[in-house]
Amino acid sequence: MLEDTQLKRAAGILLPVSSLPSPYGIGTFGKAAYRFVDQLHEAGQKYWQVLPLGSTSYGDSPYQSFSAFAGNPYFIDLDVLIDEGLLEKSEVTKVNWGREEDRISYEALWDNRYRILHLAYKRSTHKRLKKYREFVKENEDWLEDYALFMACKAHFGHQEWLKWDEDIRLREPEAVAKYEKQLRDEVGFYIFLQYKFFEQWILLKEYANKQDVEIIGDMPIYVALDSADVWVNPQLFELDEDRKPVRVAGCPPDAFSDEGQKWGNPLYDWKAMEQEDFAWWKRRMAGAARLYDVVRIDHFIGVVRYYTIPADDSAKNGTFEWGPGEKLTKALDEVRGETKIIAEDLGVTIPQVDELLEKAGYPGMRILEFAFDGNNRHPYLPHMYPRNCIVYGGTHDNETLRGYFDHMKKKDIAYALEYTDSSSKEELIHQIFLMTYRSVANTVIFQMQDVLEKGNEARMNLPSTIGENWRWRLKKNEFTKKQIKWLNNLTKLYGRD
């Protein structure tokens, strides 16, 4: 076992940045984020896990971003910009950012946030600063391409790049030069947003680390079709001569979906990636290593074997193919430095996945919600855990614990009650925390919704649906002193402090 890949015996909370309280419609890198870090420290929590920080596209999913490298401008804190003299308080307070404290209105953000940020850009003198020039230089492998991509999207009415004029869609050199000149100011705006995003995030991460809190970030295995990554690097994806996907990602029919799932992400051309020694992946991992202390690779099993669906067919008619496996993990290890990796190995696994995890030393995941089916040797039950794993009550894709137990089958709830030594369903969540904290698993992570014992009204995402996902927010003062003290006691009692 590779010791430098294991996480310490500790506990943490999963709370997306978007779910933090703020007066401006969505969580940001402002005062509430710093207060949450303080609360984690007070609660004895060593990890803050966030969802992907990229800018979101249609459906508002952080797993469908315009770039694998760029950050979400929505997270730039407006109060910081006010303190810097780039905005007037009245300019941001008079905007309707949404009417519900615990729900994000993406419509209100789309209508107003970029307009407000543009005011800050126009007033900023950042181009005179040495640290701005250094930022542009340090990120030259993606930053200007991304900014041009976003400027062109705005120019073409925010349509996906496959619907742009052919010359710029195919990135003909003359067209790239033409739009760089024509959209120079808008390109500058998107570079400014990334400069502010990274400036604020790095300060927040440094503060968290000083408070003995490490950040767990999330890296989606696939990128969105409508992204700068695919537009700039078409040779690394399975695209036809018109740059349209030949095959796309998804998963086959299973217990959760009779039809399977067609995610629509373009598949990597793994042979082409291997020929360039996985250079794109190395850049991506190095970028993530600067942002996070630990990186969770989403859908890690796809590194070993992935599901491929013809672009014009249904998920039922897909097939499995072999991925790069150890070749990719070795490439990631070359550049990750001290940043650790978690493998999201959920789903139908095969022996080759377990073998790769053993070789790489990456911890896999266990989900409590999947454990109580009456099988006393289920790998997600605490008495079956290895030390090198991360235990979750549930993830952002699952029901909350309260919602899950409310809908459990009678025989399964009876087994859960007996297993956790609970006298009633009302005790279950409390007992689940005790049971997982005392387990041998190195790391335990619970969603904030489960700390608060919320029902499914606070669920973050229901896969294969759009419209109401990714909206839940923590209310101000909802994470109480009583809950903080309880978590702190658990960490001390079971050696996770």
Query: Which residues are known catalytic residues?
Result: 298, 344, 397
**């930022």: which residue's tokens?**
135
Helix and strand numbers, DSSP H then E, in the chain: 20, 12
List the Cα angle 325/11/291 in 5-degree steps. 55
Residue 295 amino acid letter: V
Q: Other CB atoms closer than 10 Å to residue 371's CB: what's the count?
A: 20
Close Cβ partners of 140 (under 8 Å, ≥ 6 residues apart)? none
* DSSP-assigned states of every residue in 262-316: EEEEEPB-HHHHHHTTTHHHHHHHHHHHHH-SEEEETTTHHHHEEEEEETTS-GG
DSSP-based three-state secondary structure for 182: helix
| Residue 334 near residue 313 (C-beta atoms within 8 A) | no
**Encoded tokens for 79:** 């109060």
CA distance 360 to 348: 20
DSSP 254: B
- CA distances, 196 to each of 76, 125, 149, 399 (Å): 7, 12, 18, 34
Cβ neighbours, 10 Å, residue 35: 15
Q: Are 472 and 19 in contact (CB under 8 A)?
A: yes
Q: Three-class SS of residue 240?
A: coil
Gap between the Cα atoms of 487 and 483, Å rounded: 6
How many CA atoms are closer than 13 Å to the CA of 273, on its beta-carbon side? 22
What type of residue sits at position 316?
A: K
What interhelical angle do 130-138 and 184-210 show, nearest 10?
90
Q: How far is CA 115 from CA 6, 86, 95, in A?
A: 44, 13, 11
Structure tokens at 199: 């400036």
What are the Cα distances from residue 367, in Å, to 43, 384, 444, 474? 22, 12, 10, 23
Fill in the DSSP letter of residue 398: S
Residue pair 459/452 in contact by the 8 Å Cβ criterion: no
